[in-house]
Copies of this chain bind each other. A is one copy, B any other.
């Protein structure tokens, strides 16, 4: 079996406790014995058992990251931001995908609770919020990513979705579009609501009449879904001259839908996405989009969770107000919207 501290202790002729102190670089220990113990440990090819350490100390060195789908480059970048940050502090991250399915999210939270992760980062679909309520009650450090929670006040890291969608819509309006379709996702998601609100605000400000037929919602954010929804928009008698997609993945589907109908972008149809995934600028017609700093957002969210963990997970320390970090969205103009740069 594996080498344990006990084995090392026996060889070194000291107690297990001393070995523990040496290997964990605790102050109360003689430098010489420490060196000697470390030497023996390395000779024996000792690997600490963090399972045992976790159990004994009731502290774990892993954090959980729940996202819709790692295959979406936006979430992949965010995940890297989280992992790089966690790793620097000696934490590992467990990744769980939900595909925007509420059940999967509940399961994921349960799994992470069971593993006793030190903290959780959650991009929630918010079909329910009782699990979030529970986490709060149980004092599990939690930071919401990308989406706020209406009902419960928690820390979150998002970008200003309303503003982003507002900027995008306004840009299209400036280019002369009036019939602007919008492709959204599940309506309970706050980022969907917020982007929709931004769209509406821009339309209202411009005094453009809105039509319910120009608003479509899907169950997830995959390209295939985007294609279906775009087709739906394009079937209108008076078809929209521009489409704002909730995210670049959905926008990708819109390219396909346009091609099928023989519509060329941007001449027949202007298109704007959201996220600025790294591929957006390599598309057939480079995609105009709203950039949000995915990696940075993951990094910041992870830093906050790490802080919360260190401050005793709120268990001991005075609980400070939840942090709300909001990044500024940025309009990236490329060819798909038809603007000349």
Contacts and interface: CB of A to CB of B under 8 A. Distances in A.
B83 A97 contact: yes
A76 B70 contact: yes
Given A252-B282, A282-B252, A282-B255, A50 B92 contact: no
B62 A70 contact: no
A115 B91 CA distance: 11
Contact of A55 (B52, B94, B96): B52
Nearest to A137: B45
Q: How many copies does the complex hold?
A: 2
Contacts of A52: 55
Contacts of A93: 94-95
A272 to B, nearest CB: 16
A284 to B, nearest CB: 6
B55 A51 contact: yes
A193 interface: no
A71 B49 CA distance: 30
A69 B62 contact: no
Given A55-B55, A70-B76, A223-B278, 4 more contacts: A48-B114, A49-B116, A50-B114, A62-B94
6 closest pairs, A vs B, by CB?
Answer: A279-B279, A47-B113, A50-B114, A71-B76, A95-B95, A51-B54
